[in-house]
Amino acid sequence: MTNKPEKPEKLAFPTAPIVRLMKQNLDKDKLIKKEVKDGMNKWLTKMCVAVTKKMNEKPYTTVDISTFKEAVQVYNDLEQMEKEKKRVVVHLEKIKEDCDALIRDLDRRFKV
């Protein structure tokens, strides 16, 4: 039995542009491990496949920009939902602070 070295996995995208983009959005002192670079490449591949399959559901022979926008809309909606969630949480925290202040006022005024 001979142990053959494993062939490196073929990735769909060149790694360098992905790493450049990641570094533009990370702190300067952060290092990116190889498994993260490969993981990002695989994730981008998965996203590309998912969007393409969604576009392929249309019966047309040409894929146009409106088909693309429709296919990626669910991912854009996720970003919007996250922003909305943060907005709601901030609002709820303010309501909680107001309720706590009212409770303190009631406790002070109606001390038994």
Give residue-wise pLDDT tens across range 25-73: 999 999 999 999 999 999 999 999 999 999 999 999 999 999 999 999 9
What pLDDT is stored for residue 6 in this prediction? 67
Q: Give the up-direction half-sphere exposure of residue 87: CA atoms within 13 A in the CB hemisphere.
A: 6
Backbone angles phi, psi at 3, to 5 degrees: -90, 105
Region 100-109 average pLDDT: 92
59 φ, ψ to 5°?
A: -80, 0
Q: Measure the CA–CA gap between 71 and 8, rounded to whole angstroms.
A: 32
Q: What is the pTM of this model?
A: 0.65
Task: Mention every residue, 6+ apart, whose C-beta is less than 8 A from residue 11.
Answer: 38, 41, 42, 45
Q: How far is CA 25 from CA 53, 73, 103, in A?
A: 29, 23, 44
- Picking from 99, 97, 11, the residue whose alpha carbon sits closest to that of residue 48 is 11
